[in-house]
Amino acid sequence: MNKKLIVFLISVFIFQFSIEKMFGQAGTLDASFGTSGISNMNFGTSCSSTKSTLLSNGKIILVGSITNATTGADAAIVKYKKDGTLDNTFGINGTVTTDFGTQTDKANNVTIQSDGKILICGRIDPNTLNPKFFISRYDSLGNLDNSFAINGKIIDSMYTFNVIKVQTDGKIIAAGSKTYNINGIFNWRTDFFVSRYNSNGSIDNSFGTNGVVILNADTSNFFTDLEIQNDGKILACGKGNNPSNPINGNHRIFRLNSNGTIDNSFGTNGRITMPSGEGYLTDINLKNNSKIICAGGGHTNGFEIYQFNMNGSIDSTFGNNGKVFTSFNALDSPGMGVNIQQDGKIILGGYADAVYAIARYSANGVLDNTFGNAGKVTTPNTGNAQSCFLQTDGKIVLAGSSNSFLMTRYWAVPDSTACNFSYGINGMVVNFSRSNPCSSFLWDFGNGNTSSINPNPVVTYATPGSYSACLQCNDGFGCLQCKTISVPGNTSSIENQNIENQNFTMYPNPTKNMLKISNLNGHNFKYEIEDMMGKLIISGATSEISTEVNLSSTTNGLYYVKLFDSNNCQIQKLVIEE
C-alpha cells in the first residue's frame, strides 16, 4: 500500500469519526437528551403539556397544567436546559404554577418577549357556560410581573385564547374564540377572535373595535395559530364547523391589516376556505417571507401541509397542487407543528394514535427518504405531541404529554454538500474552490494554516507531500469535508486531485433492493456499507471488476459506501428508499 493511500485512509477515518461524533442517523433519538433521547417529567397528581418555545440561550419552555389536591389544575410553566434536564434556577425546581381561582386552569400557549419575559395565555374553567381567558406575564426567573395589567394578569370572560405572539413594537396579539349565547341556554356559538394589547397589558384601542376583532364563518369557529408578517399584517389559521355535522368542517385562514381590518387583497375577501373533514389546521409559518405554509390534519388525511403564495393563492408547485397528505395508518394523526430547516427541508411533528410522530419533506413537498423510515418516524410509549421546534443546532424536539411533560429529541442529519469543494494544483500552489455558499466557514489546509476569511483561497505549500485539507461549514447544522491532496512540487500543469470520483461507480442511487458496484480500474476490490453512526451493515469482496449487493433486508435511510482496491479508496453516500 503506497504512502498516498495510507495518508488518504487516515484522513477518511478522521472525517468519518468527526461525522459520527457530530451526527446520528437522521430521525433517530439523540441519546444525549434526557434519558436516551426522552425527557419525561411528572408533576403533582396529574399534569399535561400543551405548547413549547425555545429561548435565545437554547433553553426550553413548556406550558400546560399541573394538578394538586388543594387548588386543582393550575396553569404551569416548566423550564428546561437545552439537554432536557430541569433548570432549577427557574421558579421552584424548574416549575411555576399559577392558580386563577378555579379547579381547571390551563395554559394553552407561550411566547417570549425580546427582554426575556414570558407571556402565557389560556382558559379558566372551560367546562362552564361562562368560561374565562387569561394572559399573564413573568420575568425570566418565573415571578409574576406586577407591572403588567393587574398583578401580572389579564382575566376576562367568554373568550378562549389558543395562541399569543409579540409584535416587533412590543404589542401583544392573542387569538382564539369568543363564545356567546344566540337564543336560549342551549343555543351557543363561537366566533374567531383576535385582540391586541399594549406592552403594559392595557387594551390597544387602535386595533379593530376597541382592541378586538371578531370574525364569523361557521357555527363553531376557533383560531389555533397566528403569524405576524414583516409588514405587520397578521395571518391566523383555524377551523370552522357546524357541531351537528363535524365531518363537514372547513380549514380557515384569515389575513388582517396591522390595524385589525380584513386584508381584502388576500385570498377571497381576506380569507381562504378549504374542506377539512374532521381535521383542523394547527400551525402557520412563513417560508423565507415568500410563501405561507400551514399544517394540521386528523382522522382522514393524516398529516396535512398546504403551501400558499403571499396573496393567498395555492402554490401549485408544492406537493400535489399545493398540498401534501401523509398517512401514518392511524385513526387520529394530526400534524401539530411545522418548521423549516435552513436547508429548506420541512419538518412536521405531531402524533399518530398517541405516539409521537415526525415527517420530513423536501422544499417542494416530497417525503425525504433519508429521514427515518421513508421520511417518517414514530416513537412508541410517548403520547400526544402538541408542538415541534428546531434547536439552534438543527436538532428536532417534540413536546407534549402522556399525563406528563414529555419531550423527545432527534438527529436531523444535514446534506453535507455545503462543504463540497474542489481544487487544482500547479506546482506548490493549490487553488481551493468552495462549491456552495456558506456564511460561516473554516478552511484547514493540513499544513498548520487555516482561514475563515477567503471562501476560495490560494495556498502555497512549503514542501511537496500529502496533506489533509478540510472545509468546515457552521451554517444550519454544520458539516465537515476533508480531502487528501498530493503536492508534487513544481510542475507546469494543473492536475485535478479528485481521487474520490475517479475509480469506482455504483448505481442505482437512490436504490431499493440492489446496488451494482464497478471498479473502473479493473482491479479486485472490497466494499463496506455503514450507517451514519458508523455501524457496519454489509461488507464483502469480489475478484471480479463488478458485483451486485443485495439490500432487500436493509432499512431505508442514508448510508456511506466505502470502496477499496490495492491503490484507491472511495466514499460515497447511498440512499436506500422504500
The CATH number covering residue 522 comes to 2.60.40.3080
161-199 pLDDT per residue, tens = 899 999 999 999 999 988 776 665 555 667 889 999 999
Q: Is residue 32 part of a domain?
A: no
Which of 395, 413, 477, 412 has its CA nearest to residue 84?
A: 395
Residue type, 369: N
13, containing H or E segment:
helix 3-22
How far apart (Å, rounded) are the C-alpha atoms in residues 535 and 118?
A: 43
Question: Count of domains in the chain?
Answer: 3
Q: What CATH number does residue 427 fall under? A: 2.60.40.10
pLDDT over threshold 70, residue 213? yes
Partners of 109 in the β-ladder? 121
Q: Which of 389, 410, 431 is the last residue of a domain?
A: 410
How far apart (Å, rounded) are the C-alpha atoms in residues 434 and 137?
A: 48
Q: Is residue 151 part of a domain?
A: yes
Helix (H, G, I), strand (E, B) or coil at 115: coil
User: Any idea what DSSP says for residue 447?
Assistant: S
C-alpha cell at 207: 386595533
Residue 352: C-alpha distances to residues 129, 239, 255, 329, 371 (Å): 32, 20, 30, 8, 18
Same domain, 176 and 272: yes
Specify burial of residue 85 (Cβ count, 10 A radius: 0-12, 13-18, 19+): middle
Q: What mean pLDDT do residues 439-466 have? A: 88
pLDDT over threshold 90, residue 474? no
Q: Is residue 257 part of a domain?
A: yes
Q: Are 55 and 392 in contact (CB under 8 A)?
A: no
Same domain, 208 and 131: yes
Q: Are 278 and 219 in contact (CB under 8 A)?
A: no
| Enclosing domain of residue 558 | 504-576
Q: Which of 501, 524, 540 is the last residue of a domain?
A: 501
Specify burial of residue 139 (Cβ count, 10 A radius: 0-12, 13-18, 19+): middle
Please give the mean pLDDT across all residues of the chain. 84
Q: Which of 501, 534, 557 is the last residue of a domain?
A: 501
pLDDT, position 210: 96
Q: Are 277 and 304 in contact (CB under 8 A)?
A: no
> 457 preceded by cis ω (within 30°)?
no
Same domain, 422 and 485: yes
pLDDT over threshold 80, residue 75? yes
Same domain, 340 and 310: yes
Same domain, 373 and 447: no
Residue type, 219: T
Same domain, 276 and 203: yes
Q: Is residue 328 part of a domain?
A: yes
How far apart (Å, rounded) are the C-alpha atoms in residues 577 and 44?
A: 45
Q: Are 369 and 375 in contact (CB under 8 A)?
A: yes
pLDDT, position 243: 57
